[in-house]
Amino acid sequence: MARYRFKKWEDGSTGLEREFVLNANKEVTAYYEKVIDVANVRFSGLVSKHPSDTSTTPVTVNLKVTRPDGVDDAFSIQTDNAGVFMTVKEYLLPGQYSVQATVPASTIYALATSPVVSFTTSQLTRTVTLNVDIV
């Protein structure tokens, strides 16, 4: 079901309430706009390094979000020195999403991938936690 929000009156004023003196027929026009729900999704997680690795170098994490329409949204984020990452993205389409985190292979690490996590944007704010273990 679509939702609408008051935008303005015919004269451009945006106050919600109007006062009229009616002593003759008067036409009044109110304009409304369709409200598009935006879900703010917080992606966070931890890249656990191999126990023998004592470095505190940030790691690049690649996230791939598959939207309800089947389109993939891919982006990268850096961890902090402890391997923690966090970012917030906005998604307009309501429905079922899935996300997967991957840490690319490097001279230190082998390729590591998280399990696929599914989430729905029926709520306006959603937190998705992903953990990637590098062995």
Q: For residues 110 and 128, state if they share a domain.
A: yes
Distance CA 131, CA 67 (A): 21
C-alpha 89/C-alpha 72 separation (Å) is: 14
59: nearest Cα among 10, 108, 127: 108
Q: What is the pLDDT along the chain (135 residues), one digit of tens a residue?
A: 557 788 899 999 998 888 888 889 888 899 988 776 677 888 888 887 777 777 778 888 899 999 888 999 999 999 998 888 888 888 877 778 888 888 887 756 666 777 777 766 655 555 666 665 554
Residue 24 sits in the same domain as residue 63: no
State the residue range of the domain holding 19: 3-35
Specify the pTM. 0.64
